[in-house]
Chains A and B, each alone.
Chain A
Amino acid sequence: MSTTSLREFAAQRRGYLPVLATTALFALTLEAGNYRYYGFLSGQVLANLFVDNAHLLVIAVGMTFVILTGGIDLSVGAVGALSTMLCADLVERQGWPPLLVIPLVLVVGALFGAGMGYAIHHFEVQPFIATLAGMFFARGLCYLISTDSIPISDHLFTTLAQSHLTLPGGVFVSWSVVIAVSVVAAAFVVLHYTRFGRAVYAVGGNPQSALLMGVPVGRTVIRAYTVSGLCSALGGVLFTLYTLSGYSLHLVGTELDAIAAVVIGGTLLTGGSGYVLGTVLGVLVLGVIQTIITFEGTLSSWWTKIAVGTLLFVFVLLQRIMTARRRS
């Protein structure tokens, strides 16, 4: 009996290995930056990682839900852009009150995700194709609203965007960071302490077994995509605060960043295994790379892409080696 529990313990520990590896990588990139640049490890630089990536953090959390069920959501960037457009258009051009617009935008995002989830589960459209169509549709709606960038001068939006929160040590963070961190905390609780969270892992692990166990597979899948849609919309709202504008070309390619963050965070794309905290680390690693490239100054932007691609490669390879060992 003791050997079984020991083995179980070891097996559980292995589940954390990818996250530990990401933590090590995060520490390593930070140390590399600190070694090279004076003042890199200051509190404000670290806080800025969150400030600059609050929207990505929220979007990647939603993506984690979908990937845990074994799906994928390509529409997140487009839904985020649609949210920035809706915010800007409704508030600035139609004169709607922001306190009405923001909940409305979130509902639109959630419904969008639910629609895709419905098609994926009930009509058996592949997630890749269904969310691809969703991506075209959401981007298209952006263009329908306006092809120009709409600046926002509304009082509430500018106040929210410009006011800061002072942490101990004199470090400033924006309110977006508070929202993003709350989303992460909520996602953590939902995934680990609720029935829905367990169902997400079960469906991603093996949909057939989950169905036989009595897990409501359809409802779980639809809800996961709804969460992703909601998170994309919220990410869009945070991005609206970050740039104080709505534009149909905002957040292009964010879906790739989000997927990369989730994978680097140790979540398996086959579903069923991964942690939302890993995703946070994944986003931070992407943020540090971006910061290093900014600090370096002479490096061209394409090095970000090459670095992210290389990291993806290393991490997936690492996961492969570890899962292969577990099986043998």
Chain B
Amino acid sequence: MRQLLGHRLFWPVALLAALLVTNVIYSPDFLSIRVRDGHLYGSLIDILRLGSPLLLVALGMTLVTATGGIDLSVGALVAISGAVACLNISHLTNQKDSGAVVPAVLLALAVCVALGIWNGLLVAGAGMQPIIATLVLMVAGRGVAQMITGGQIITVNSEPYHLIGGGYELGLPLSVLIAAAVLVLTGLTVRRSALGLLLESVGGNREASRLVGIRARGLTVTVYAFCALCAAGAGLMISSNVASADGNNAGLWIELDAILAVVIGGTSLSGGRFHLGGTAVGALVIQTLSTTVYTIGVPPETTLVFKALVVTAVCLLQSPAFRAKVLPGRARRRAGVVEAKPGKKEATAA
């Protein structure tokens, strides 16, 4: 029991389960999944579908966080990628031609990766604090996205493009499959090779990592580029789902949700360790939270208060200091163990 309670995924999963149970109490057929036209339908599928852009962004954010960084620009990148793709598709003579849509999508991804590399160079090359380096793009990028769309909402009427966010494959929404594939591939890449360890090492102590021969600079740039790629993918999903690009509101505050997902998942913002599985659960928790608000009929005005309370509860429960002070006895021994871990001191300093 103690081992179970001490598992890092315990609190996030418990929260997710609690949210799902609440939903079932208020709406008994919440868990049912129907098959219609060969597609799966149901509230759970909706949570997965609506949550997949967030999951994708949070995945990239997890790796950036592992290196001790943070990427505030993902929301702006979401807007830019949708804007670039939609602008190019809207210029096509035949928007239904998938041969012409693919380059537009690739261009959007490439633009965002280039911006991600810019972020990485500011952090690793110029040595700026990640929060400021990415704040530059967060502020300016939103302006760039609005400039690309000309302050308007660009609508497209392209079936191949609509597939990314609204299509179905094997009975499941394509966006869910994309997000799941990226999650699995990323997990395999970082955990089956030494890459994950190297990232954690850079996050633990950049200078020490460099001295033992880890290319901290190259790794950092790569991670920011990957994070931007994930954000671009999320941007394509969001914009293709509504068949339009909105420079103002696409991906607005998604960086905050993504950071929350990462933190709920048990990744420390001070870097040095990360949990992709936890992030996935964290992203689902946030999406389920939004759904729950509608299911149990909380007035939409209270959504934010509800969210704030849940976030506060999770963060406090995860804080070793809180558990040691408020929940004595059981927590004391474990708090002592956490105290001994490296990176803890930095968390206090940050």
Contact = CB atoms under 8 A, between A and B. Distances in A.
B303 interface: yes
A259 B139 CA distance: 11
Interface residues of B, number: 52
B128 A316 contact: yes
A24 interface: no
Given A309-B139, A312-B136, A124 B350 contact: no
Contacts of A70: 349-350
A124 B301 contact: no
Contacts of A119: 312, 316
B313 to A, nearest CB: 10
Interface of A: 70, 72, 119, 122-130, 132-134, 136-137, 139-141, 143-144, 147, 206-208, 256, 259-260, 263, 269-270, 300-306, 308-310, 312-313, 316-317, 320, 324
Nearest to B264: A129
B301 A306 contact: no
A269 B129 contact: yes
Contact of A256 (B139, B305, B345, B350): B139
Given A70-B349, A270-B129, A312-B132, 11 more contacts: A123-B319, A137-B312, A144-B302, A147-B301, A260-B139, A300-B146, A302-B142, A302-B247, A304-B143, A305-B140, A309-B139
A316 B129 CA distance: 9
Contacts of A123: 316, 319, 321-322, 325
Contacts, number: 146
A133 B256 CA distance: 10
A137 B304 contact: yes
Interface in B115-144: 122, 126-129, 131-133, 135-144
B245 to A, nearest CB: 14
B129 A305 contact: no
Nearest to A317: B126
B142 A208 contact: no
Q: Which residue, B142, B304, B322, has most C-beta atoms of chain A within 10 A?
A: B304
A40 B301 CA distance: 44
B128 A317 contact: yes
Given A125-B316, A129-B269, A259-B135, A302 B151 contact: yes
A221 to B, nearest CB: 10
Query: A interface, by DSSP: helix, strand, loop or mixed?
Result: helix
B296 interface: no
Contact of A124 (B131, B135, B347): B347
A292 to B, nearest CB: 15
Given A124-B319, A208-B349, A263-B132, A309 B141 contact: yes
A302 B349 CA distance: 36
Nearest to A323: B127
Nearest to B316: A123
10 contacts: A132-B260, A133-B311, A140-B301, A140-B302, A143-B304, A269-B131, A269-B132, A302-B146, A302-B151, A309-B139
Contacts of B311: 129, 132-133, 136
Given A143-B302, A316-B128, A137 B308 contact: yes
Nearest to A78: B304
A128 B304 contact: no
Q: Which 9 A-B pairs have the closest CB atoms?
A: A309-B140, A305-B143, A140-B304, A140-B305, A137-B308, A136-B308, A143-B301, A302-B146, A302-B143
A272 B176 CA distance: 45
B17 interface: no
Given A127-B350, A317-B128, A140 B136 contact: no
Nearest to B300: A143
B350 A308 contact: no
Contact of B260 (A129, A134, A300, A303): A129
